[in-house]
Structure 1
Amino acid sequence: MKFKMTKEEKNWVLYDVGNSAFVLMVSTIMPIYFNYLSQKAGLSSIDYLAYWGYTASIVTVIVAILGPILGTVADTKGFKKPIFTITLLIGTIGCLLLGFTTYWLVFLIIFLIAKVGFSASLIFYDSMLTDVTTPQRVDHVSSQGYAWGYIGSCVPFVLCLILVLGSSSIGIKVETAMTLSFIIIAAWWFIMTIPLLKTYKQKYYVERKPQAIKNSFKRLKDTIINVRKQKKIFLFLLAFFFYIDGVYTIIDMATAYGTALGFESTGLLLALLLTQVVAFPFAILFGRLSSRYDTAKLVTVCICAYLGIAIFAIFITQQWQFWVLAVLVGMFQGGIQSLSRSYFTKIIPSQKSGEYFGLMDVCGKGASFIGTTVVSLLSQWTGKLNLSLGAISLFFVLGIVIFRMAESKKYE
């Protein structure tokens, strides 16, 4: 059956196209550029990987604290779009400013602020899904968001790649090429968000009352208490905490990992570009499969695949193996993210989507604090980079076990 999106759904998808350019930049060019800045300052490759991981961990802690609070406030009538806009501006302006610093520590601080803005914006963006589509279409729309985000982000990324890799050929410094790249990414991200800002309307909400913010904290407290009683939601969030930890750690650390292993930068960037290209059709494929197969079973398949990917990462010693890793990640990345989002949408109350997605973000972005910290600490303590990344396979094992518990019939 042919699937045609509405205007509201298309505009929602466009934000994925916009912010995914920043995600791709963070996971590819930015770690390599930070390595360049850190080497100029005399940092070792081990310390470079560790500081990058620690920064990612700090971001996740901040978002884990703010996420449920912001999500709960945003559920109040008329609040969601304004707060989303603020987080968007923090992210895009931070991205822009990254192009105007060359000292590694200042770069990390600005990156931290930009990443917090980006991560916070996703809480509101994900919760908007209940407003722009229907439960029957949510799997498809969620998958389309990730799919077009993957392929659409390649447009500005290729421009940035040409600037950075060809900087010497066109007669500009690497720093100048990076400045232009950050400007391109920030502009792309903001422009792609404009249609959503114009058409989005909050359909599901909690009525505004006196002392709205104070009441939001009370609702958050009640939601946390209720989630513990809602076993299906609670177990899913616990499973999500573990398996998405592994996914985000691989996304956050892949380029830094390859760089620390001494792989050639151009090859790393092209391999991760391939990930985006591969992810596009597979994200759409998983969306279509969701109409034929149970969403929970498809999520389980994706978690198992990522377990295999994490184990494979232990044995990577050559660059061609990194290319294989990039293809495998591309095949399942869109599926596990989009189907987890749509699965959660189906089991939560629509009028409290912000609150629940705030909690989901704690379990998602907040969980990756553990993964990136584990990789950073193990790499410094043991000096064995392969072992440090392979250790996250344990999170996928726990994720599979707990997710299947959530799907037990007694929690239907």
Structure 2
Amino acid sequence: MPAPAPPAALDDSPAARRREQRGWYFYDWANSAFYTTIISVFLGPYLIPVAKTAACAKDFPDVATATCVSGFDALAGVSPGLGYVDVLGADIRPAAFFGLTLTIAVFLQIVCLPIVGALADHTGRKRELLGGFAYVGALATMGLFFVEGDRYLLGGGLFILANLAYGSSVVVYDSFLPQISTPQERDGVSSRGWAIGYLGGGLLLALNLVLYLQHESLGLSEGMAVRICMLSAGLWWATFTIVPLLRLRNRPVPAHETTALRSVGGSFRQLRRTLSELRRYPLTMLFLIAYLVYNDGVQTVIGNSAAFASEALKLGTTVQITAILMVQFVAFFGALLLGRLARRFGTKRTILASLVLWTLIVMAGLFVAEGQAVQFYLMAFAIAIVLGGTQALSRSLFSQVIPKGREAEYFSLLQISDKGSAFIGSLTVTVALQLTNSYRIAIVSMIIFFVIGFVLLALTNLPKAIRAAGNEVPDTV
């Protein structure tokens, strides 16, 4: 029996790479709608009143729903033991329900994303995995349209599914970068994808802002307008995912197990090899742990910013949306500014300075007056300046302390850290809310993550870490 023919070589010409790169950019454009519209703006402030409605119906059946929700804290305060919703047998405050949902979502990411990354590398079927995760996430996001009344568990469940699919798809998406670009092209390709993602998320959010502001003139209730905005994020995600699926190509991989179960087993073995090798670079591991800690604080602050604005500051959704819009565009320029500072003062010093600013920003959360939109905008502007720069410089610094030839595997660990690291932070917020019922205290509790991350990064001998990885130490680091 003749041996099977070898797979045809892929066209790796500059024109073919540019075609894939243009398709790759569009997935950032597609999925950023989920993060901006769902996580950053609409879901938290919408889901908490849904949970309050459920608690009202259970504990205060004789009070009209609208009256109960608007005066929920006062009613719960004079009725000990009341004012909770049931989540798998546990009594949870409605204000803490979104935080609990976010905690479960990121915990599942921590468990699943390493498996997803190893499976993608092991099987080579990245395009199929990207499409599968993207459409599961997009459909779950569209399902949020049906969350109304007292359906808080439906909303929590759909968000958890969508968030897990989102994180999984991004891991697969990022793993394409070394395959579609040369080392000389990689910085430019990655930066353009990042910028286009901010633009796509900001554009849909701007359209949703128009819909939300005009909902009365369109004959829509506020709740229906929010539900349509959440539906639009899923439709946007599903529609623009078509482009990368048409442009991206799978690469040949070594022979591997043919069944799904054996492929998963092989992926676990590959993951163990990567993690085992990481122990050979203790300073690289120390930097990664430092990043895990301070990025935990960053992601938790961003993920809870809309709920903080609505619950602690009593600001409307319009203010929240316009603040997030501002953050989308200012963060890009903030990254450029911190990049220039890094070239002058060193990347490590610039990141350390940004962590000091993060600490001051969350401390300011104690003093932002209720109903003061201008103060919240100033806080959001400060976050935008350090947000993009902290993440971009951390990614750049990490690239210096990893061995050559293994960039994709090590960057997959960084991406997993970025998408799945906020478990402890979101758990901290949930516990703080459960104990104090105060979003101000919950947000200020993030200081501990920036302080510990600062100390760990300060202790990291970066020149030694760079040399240990076999790389040349830059003039400024």
Q: Assess same fold via TM > 0.5.
A: yes
2:251 paired with 1:190: no
Deviation at 1:92, TM superposition (A): 0.6
Larger RCO (CA within 8 A; separation ≥ 6)? 1
Q: Select which of 176, 193, 196 maps to 2:224.
A: 176
> Residues 155, 224 of structure 1: CA spacing in aligned structure 2 closer, same or farther, 3 A cutoff?
same
Distance 1:387 1:179 in 2: 30
> Are residues 1:11 and 2:23 paired?
yes
Q: Secondary structure in 2 aligned to 1:398?
A: helix
2:326 is aligned to 274
Q: Distance in 2 between matches of 1:156 and 1:354?
A: 31
- What code does the residue aligned with 1:306 have? W
Q: Secondary structure at the match of 2:217?
A: coil
Q: Does 1:145 align with 2:193?
A: yes
State how far apart, in whole Å, the 2-side matches of 1:406 and 1:136 are.
28
1:208–1:344 Cα change, 3 Å: farther
Partner-residue secondary structure (3-state), 2:220:
coil
Q: Is the 8 A contact 1:287 1:335 kept in 2?
A: yes
Q: Partner residue of 2:367?
A: 315
Q: 1:135, 1:6 → 2: CA distance?
A: 14
Deviation digits for residues 308-352 of structure 1 (CA, Å, limit 9, x no counterpart): 322222322242221111111111212222333344345446765
Task: After TM superposition, give the deviation of residue 118 of structure 1 in Å.
Answer: 0.6
Shift of 1:65: 0.6
Q: Distance in 1 between matches of 2:339 and 2:190?
A: 8
In structure 1, the partner of 2:102 is 56
Partner residue of 1:35 out of 28, 34, 48: 48
Maintained 8 Å contact 2:138/2:237: yes
Give, in whole Å, the separation in 2 of the partners of 1:300 and 1:137. 28
User: Contact 1:241–1:363 (CA<8 Å) still a contact in 2?
Assistant: yes
Residue 101 of structure 2 aligns to which amino acid in structure 1? T
1:245 to 1:308, Cα distance in 2 relative to 1, 3 A: same
Residue 152 of structure 1: CA displacement? 2.3
* Conservation of the 8 A alpha-carbon contact between 2:48 and 2:98: no
> 2:290 is matched with which residue?
239
CA–CA distance in structure 2, aligned partners of residues 357 and 409 of structure 1: 20
Query: Residue in 2 aligned with 1:324?
Result: 378
Q: Distance in 1 between matches of 2:462 and 2:125?
A: 37
> Secondary structure of 1:153's match?
helix
Q: Offset at 1:377? A: 1.1
Deviation at 1:133, TM superposition (A): 2.8
Counterpart CA distance in 1 for 2:283 and 2:24 is 28
For residues 7 and 396 of structure 1, do their structure 2 counterparts lie closer, same or farther at Cα, with a shift above 3 Å needed?
farther
Seen in structure 2, the aligned counterparts of structure 1 residues 202 and 353 have a Cα distance that, compared at 3 Å, is: farther
2:43 is matched by which residue type in structure 1? M
**Which residue pairs with 2:357 in the alignment?**
305
Taking the aligned partners of 2:340 and 2:23, their CA distance within structure 1 comes to 20
Question: Gaps (5+ residues) in structure 1?
Answer: none
Structure 1 match to 2:32: 20
Deviation at 1:405, TM superposition (A): 3.3
1:82 paired residue number: 128
Specify the alignment match of 2:203 in structure 1.
Answer: 155
Q: How does 1:355-370 map to 2 (within 5 A)?
A: 355-370=409-424
Matches within 5 A, 1:400-411: 400-411=454-465
Structure 1 residue aligned with 2:436: 382
**Matched residue pairs, number?**
407
Q: Please say if 1:373 is aligned against 2:373.
A: no
Structure 1 counterpart of 2:155: 107
Between stretches 371-380 and 337-346, larger displacement belongs to 337-346
Structure 2 Cα separation of the partners of residues 408 and 23 of structure 1: 32
Displacement after TM superposition at 1:360 (Å):
2.9
Q: Distance in 2 between matches of 1:308 and 1:136?
A: 38
The answer on whether the counterparts of 1:22 and 1:186 sit within 8 Å (CA) in structure 2 is: yes
Alignment partner of 1:208 is 2:262: no
Q: CA deviation at 1:355?
A: 4.4
Which amino acid is the alignment partner of residue 154 of structure 1? G
- Provide structure 2 residue ranges, at least 5 long, that are not aligned to the other structure: 1-16, 57-68, 74-91, 468-477
Q: What per-residue deviation string (whole Å, max 9, x for no partner) do you get for residues 264-315 of structure 1?
A: 3322222222211322333455567777775545444433332332222232
Which residue number corresponds to residue 47 of structure 1?
93
Distance 1:379 1:181 in 2: 27
The percent of aligned pairs where both chains have the same amino acid is 30
Please, which moves more after superposition, 325-334 or 246-255? 325-334
Within the candidate set 377, 385, 398, 1:344 is matched to 398
Query: Amino acid of the residue matched to residue 236 of structure 1?
Result: F
Kindly provide the amino acid, as one letter, of the partner of residue 254 in structure 2.
E
Q: CA deviation at 1:221?
A: 1.3
C-alpha root-mean-square deviation of aligned residues, in Å? 2.7
Deviation per CA, 1:169-197: give whole Å up to 9, x if none: 21123343234323321222233333322
**Which letter maps to 1:168?**
E
CA pair 216-226 structure 1, distance change in 2 beyond 3 A: same
